[in-house]
Chains A and B, each alone.
Chain A
Amino acid sequence: MVSARCSVGAIVSGWHRVRSGGQAFAAAPRSFSVLLIPFACLAFATMANAADVIPVPEFTDHEVPISMPAAGDHSGWEWLNVGLLVVALSLASYFALVNRSRRGLFLLAVASLAWFGFIRGGCICPIGATQNVTLAIFDGTYAIPWTVVAIFVLPLVYTLFFGRTFCSSVCPLGAIQEIVAVRPVRVPSWVDHTLGLVPYLYLGLAVLYAATGTAFIICRYDPFVSMFRLSGNVNMLVFGGALLVLGVFVGRPYCRYLCPYGAILGVLSKGSKWHAKIAPEKCITCHLCENSCPYGAISAPSSPPPKSERAAARRQLAQMIVLAPVLILLGLFVGRLLATPLSKLDPDVRLAERIILEDSGDVEDTTDASDAFRNTGQPKAELFASALSIQQRFKTLGMLIGGWFGFVIAVKLISLSLKRKRTDYQPDPSRCVSCARCYWYCPGEQVRLGIIGDVSELVELNVEKPTALETTP
């Protein structure tokens, strides 16, 4: 022990003596530091071995300060956020279903945007919580705060009872788009249906990457969070801005064509106990509401196809059902091919590829990551083996995601082939976000409010009666 003390003392004091030669150092800083490296390494190694015997300088009356980062603050904000989420969800459901107040919903949207968006920086986010919940399911060591679980679960439960009232005016991402949707145009239905599949694919990818602990892609590509924080990645600011500009003409582009949580809510909303209704009592099929919806979520009355076409319709449905397994198998196959690009989000895979490229001379320069890796002196074989095993894992995961997407397309095709009978104008529960814009356009609503008398028996506006269609041969 004594000898260790001597040797470390000698090295450290020698080191200081060399370094106090400021003139020599100033004259040739580079060569000096090169000389110093092996020396410093020696000091490193000895210090680690003799941890307790490093002489710490003592001063006559100087206190050597200690600096360290502040401790994390995990106070009541989270509780408050969950509480406010419950209040906002309840209010939104009340405004949409009971009070039928567009003004109430709009004000609530503004308030949610201000609080959950700008004040809390967009981070009470059930959309992003999807990933935390997924990771918590797949990784037992990941500790998920109960507030995150609550933030994920509460809108789901509310949706099962009241429809997507969370989307209407609680979600700040929805709120910011709701406010800018002033000149909506009708999106062609085939575009709407096709782009409407994207959220399911996005959801699948988000779950896949979260489950493997690779990345939280929903947060990485959150278009509005940098806007809420008035800072952040320029690309995302531009993306968010572009979505908002688009949102003036195409209602809620993020909610309809990207939001993975919206996909879940859409499915759950199909079975909601109570859902926003356009006509408070009886629909007189006046179709005035149809154009009022910026989100293309109002389904017009329809009737089953006439007898002559029924066989064809049935055949189409049968075809789609047969096609389903084919689509899923095709998805599995394509997914397997996509395994390599999918795995590129993993930093180890990227690093391994980069090292291979550099070694083969295909690229001239190096990256920070490859430099750092080479400096550690870790064996390359280890890195390559780890990258390969990750890629292998992505082969299975790629197939899963491909299969999932095949399934989603199949379900869509089948649902499009199903002809349902509808006598009224109704909100499509999966697409309607309960924004209450259509209410005001409904004469029934005006009657309910006592603004006009009862019109239902005076006006016969539905020119094309379903019964008329029935009788045509």
Chain B
Amino acid sequence: MPLEEKQQDRREFITDAVRTTGVVAVVGSGGFLAGRRTEGEPMVWQLDPDKCTACGNCATYCVLDVSAVKCFNAFDMCGFCDICTGYFEMDYKSLDTAAENQACPTGAILREFVEEKSGQRYYEYTIDEPLCIGCGKCVEGCALMNGSLYLQVEHDRCLDCNECAIATACPTEAFYRVPASQAEILKRRAATVLNARGKQMERVAGDDESKRREADALLARTAKQRDWREKQALEDANRRPSDG
């Protein structure tokens, strides 16, 4: 039947045309979007310790069995506490170094006596990372003192989910995406202290090449942090008026 054949031909022509348009549109918009990737580097989730309230959601909501969030210690701010409130429970009647007095439920904080200098005892509180579950109990305790214990996402554990389960559960929106190179968000105060140490090391390094390199690495770390914060503040300032 010529009529039917004609109809068939016409239909095929139309579907071919539509399909070609579809392919061009899909590939074209895909290419356009992929072109934008040059505008930024891959993003990863990170936790802003300045916004963190140590609520414990990191340990509960992470899709991993043991949360990708771990506790870190800015050692330069730490160590003078004979009774570390991140290490010990706050409200026990008698405090000694027994396990039941420890704030950390998994005993992940290790305490090592370093030295005593003019009556000041100095300790080093290290975190045994595999044991840490990111519950933030130590951070909660430490926050009263100087906040040197802070939670961070371990990027080699984090699955970098499209929608971070912790981010949706975080009460203060402390989770957001940062460029992959900005691996860490230090507490503002920790960054300040580390920067000070870097400067001091630079001053005393003299001819010692290795000391100088160490100082440079420290300063670069805090500078990266500062630049990121500044950029963020700028973006926030730019975004606000358009929202309102």
Residues in A neighbouring B40, C-beta threshold 8 A: 141-143
Per-position 1/0 for B189-229, Cβ under 8 A of A: 10011111101100000000000000000100100000000
Q: Is A59 an interface position by the 8 A CB rule?
A: yes
Interface residues of A in 321-366 (CB under 8 A from B): 347
Number of residues in B with C-beta < 8 Å to the partner?
Answer: 89
Tell me the dominant secondary structure on chain B's binding face: mixed
Distance in Å: Cβ of A402 to nearest Cβ of chain B: 24
Contact A232 B42 (CB under 8 A): no
Residues in B neighbouring A136, C-beta threshold 8 A: 33, 36
Number of residues in A with C-beta < 8 Å to the partner?
Answer: 86
Per-position 1/0 for A20-62, Cβ under 8 A of B: 1010011001100100110010011001100111101101101
Q: Given the known inter-chain contacts A47-B189, A73-B155, please indicate yes or no for A22 contacting B83, CB distance below 8 A.
A: yes
Contact A29 B90 (CB under 8 A): yes
Residues in A neighbouring B90, C-beta threshold 8 A: 29-30, 33
Per-position 1/0 for A232-252, Cβ under 8 A of B: 110000000000000000000
Closest to B180 in A: A72
Distance in Å: Cβ of A366 to nearest Cβ of chain B: 11
Q: Is A215 an interface position by the 8 A CB rule?
A: yes
Residues in B neighbouring A268, C-beta threshold 8 A: 22
Contact B37 A143 (CB under 8 A): yes
Q: Is A166 an interface position by the 8 A CB rule?
A: no
Per-position 1/0 for B1-42, Cβ under 8 A of A: 000000000000001101100110011001001101101111
Contact A150 B34 (CB under 8 A): yes
Contact B91 A62 (CB under 8 A): no
Give A131 to B221 CA distance when docked, in angstroms: 33
Q: Could you say which of B72, B127, B144, B171 contacts A368, with CB atoms under 8 Å apart?
A: B171
Q: Is B131 an interface position by the 8 A CB rule?
A: no
Contact B26 A143 (CB under 8 A): no
Give A47 to B197 CA distance when docked, in angstroms: 13
Residues in A neighbouring B145, C-beta threshold 8 A: 19, 36, 40
Contact A72 B44 (CB under 8 A): yes
Interface residues of B (CB under 8 A from A): 15-16, 18-19, 22-23, 26-27, 30, 33-34, 36-37, 39-44, 53, 55, 57, 61, 63-65, 70, 72-76, 79-83, 85, 90-91, 94-95, 114-115, 117, 119-122, 124, 126-127, 144-146, 152-156, 159-163, 165, 168, 171-173, 180-181, 183-184, 188-189, 192-197, 199-200, 218, 221, 235, 243-244
Name 9 extra pairs, CB < 8 A, besides A149-B34, A219-B163, A271-B19: A56-B76, A60-B117, A70-B183, A71-B180, A145-B42, A220-B165, A271-B18, A368-B53, A368-B172
